[in-house]
DNA sequence: TCCTTTGTAGACAGATCTGTCTACAATATT
DNA sequence: AATATTGTAGACAGATCTGTCTACAAAGGA
């Protein structure tokens, strides 16, 4: 899960420069902690340019989450395939994410915690994001009557591992706990 | 998990009035979203009184988390006992919390998401909080070699259920998924 | 009685926040 | 050639943020 797309941002159109900059700052430092002034300074645009593309900060927040959703899902699906494409791929995939130096938890869970009570859009986007994440997990499971139920349960456990890895010194305990749950699930009828 | 202690706050000493008010606002609306001015207005104190008790907002944030820890742990342990004191007590206990109208997720996970990168104290307090939560869960399990491992895994799954219940329309799916995991654990050797 | 603690009232500083405004330049599109 | 879009530079408004300051009042313990 790379946080930084290593293309020269200065060559990109203003709108994308703003979005990429906002992404990094919102994810690394938090949404309320990041002012518009900082974003326009680091994106190298002016205020008028910014407000022509994003009528308000709330609009930018929503577009940031939509963008994050696209980017994270693409990485997630690709990483799961790279690691085998079945349930065994889940732990190495998450390990890859957690061990990245830019890891700061789930942007959507962080967003809900920070803004859930004031910006309902964030809750809506998060629901749909987690639905897609659960779908990707479901695709790792063999067809069965319990497939959806299992995918839901794994998805919840994954969220637990994500937040745990966010505050623990190392992601080891989070991954080990998730492994334990997955192993029980594998052995279950 | 009552968010509001129904005692007449106006009769309490200023310090406690500030702390209770900060607790409710920080938890309901977020920490950065809540200004000092609002806290002193709703607590009914003046600025000097406030800053005599809490040298800075960061101090208040830490004391808020310490207070929240005491209060939440006391409720948690009591509720687990009320519901039987074994592993079966976990679901009804969490259901009680999730269904409360004031439920806004875990104050510590929200705090880490919001301030983790700027206020390391929050991460430290969260680690110790989750350690205590895990201990309370461990106390529900019969002694065995795997007790600690299981308690850790359950604790991670509980965190997943908490964040899920925070953005889902109802806590049902979160509780159902956690139940599934707990049932597998119970059947395991 | 003296003195420390705890409290009140409210002005003030200085920074930062979101968002608007004027005025002008380069680039596409029609 | 005329026009619409996208861009730049930077001042400005008005709110809100954290934290400090002076001046005064009440209550408790030494």
pLDDT tens digits, one per residue of B32-56: 999 999 999 999 898 999 998 999 9
pLDDT at A44 over 70: yes
**How confident is the model at residue A188, as a pLDDT?**
79
- According to the model, what pLDDT value does residue B133 have? 98
Cβ atoms of A121 and A145 closer than 8 Å: no
Q: Which regions in chain B score pLDDT beneath 50?
A: 2-6
Residues contacting residue A41 through CB under 8 Å, at least 6 positions apart: none
Reduced to 3 states (helix: H, G, I; strand: E, B; else coil), residue B98 is: helix
d(CA B6, CA A48) in angstroms, rounded, equals: 50
**Using CA atoms, how far apart are residues B9 and B17, in angstroms rounded to an integer?**
6
* Residue A173 CB partners (closer than 8 Å, separation 6+): A164, B152
- Look at residue A114 and tell me whether its pLDDT is greater than 50: yes
Over 60: is that where the pLDDT of A178 sits?
A: yes
Listed in sequence order, the residues at least 6 apart from A186 whose beta carbon sits closer than 8 Å to its beta carbon are A87
What confidence score (pLDDT) does residue A13 get? 81
Residue A144, SS3 per DSSP: coil
Task: Indicate if the pLDDT at residue A153 is higher than 80.
Answer: yes
pLDDT for residue A5: 46
How does A116-147 read in b/e, with b if 16+ C-beta sit within 10 Å? bbebeebbebbeebbeebbebbbebbeeeeee
Question: Do the chains contact at B161 and A156, CB–CB below 8 Å?
Answer: yes
Q: Is there a contact between B181 and A153 (Cβ–Cβ < 8 Å)?
A: yes
Query: Half-sphere exposure (CA, 13 Å, Cβ side) for B9?
Result: 17
User: B188 CB near a chain A CB, below 8 Å?
Assistant: yes
| Residue A78: exposure state from Cβ atoms within 10 A (0-12, 13-18, ≥19) | exposed
A107, A168, A180, best to mutate vs chain B, most B CBs in 10 Å: A180
Residue A80 in contact with partner chain B when CB distance is under 8 A = no
Per-position DSSP letters for A85-110, written without gaps between them: SSGGGHHHHHHHHHHSTT--S-HHHH
- Among A2-6, A74-78, A173-177, the range scoring the smallest mean pLDDT is A2-6
Reduced to 3 states, what is the DSSP secondary structure of residue A55?
coil
- pLDDT at residue number B187: 86
Lowest mean pLDDT among A10-19, A23-32, A136-145, B100-109: A10-19
pTM flag (> 0.85):
yes
Q: What's residue A64's pLDDT? A: 96
Q: Which of residues 111-140 of A touch B (CB under 8 A)?
A: 112-118, 123, 126-127, 130
Residues 20-59 of A with CB under 7 A from strand D: 44-49, 52-53
SS3 A43: helix
Size of interface A-B (CB pairs under 8 A): 152
Per-residue pLDDT at A9 exceeds 80: no
State, as a whole number of angstroms, the distance between the CA of B125 and the C1' of C15.
29
Residue A21: per-residue pLDDT = 93
Q: Please name which of A77, A56, A11, B18 lies closest in space to residue A64, comparing C-alpha atoms.
A: A56
Question: Worst-scoring range by mean pLDDT, A13-17, A50-54, B83-87, B131-135?
Answer: A13-17
Among residues A174, A14, A2, the alpha carbon closest in space to that of A100 is found at A2
Q: Is the pLDDT of residue A2 over 80?
A: no
Q: Look at residue B107 in the predicted model and tell me its pLDDT.
A: 98
In this complex, do B157 and A113 lie within 8 Å of one another by their Cβ atoms? no
């Amino acid at each position: 899960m790379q946080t930084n797309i290593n293309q020269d941002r200065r060559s990109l159109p203003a709108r994308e420069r703003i979005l990429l900059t906002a992404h990094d700052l919102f994810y690394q430092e938090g949404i309320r902690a990041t002012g518009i002034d900082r974003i326009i300074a680091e994106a190298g645009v002016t205020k008028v340019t910014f407000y022509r593309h994003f009528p308000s900060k709330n609009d930018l927040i929503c577009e940031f989450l939509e963008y994050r959703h696209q980017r994270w899902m693409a990485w997630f699906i690709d990483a799961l395939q790279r690691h085998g494409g079945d349930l065994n791929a889940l732990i190495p995939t998450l390990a890859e994410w957690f061990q990245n130096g830019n890891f700061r938890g789930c942007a959507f869970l962080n967003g809900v915690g920070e803004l859930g009570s004031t910006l309902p859009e964030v809750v809506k986007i998060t629901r749909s994001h987690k639905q897609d994440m659960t779908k990707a997990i479901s695709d790792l499971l063999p067809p069965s009557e319990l497939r959806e139920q299992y995918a839901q349960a794994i998805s919840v456990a994954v969220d637990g591992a994500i937040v745990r890895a966010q505050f623990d010194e190392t992601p080891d305990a989070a991954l080990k706990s998730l492994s334990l749950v997955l192993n029980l699930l594998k052995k279950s009828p």
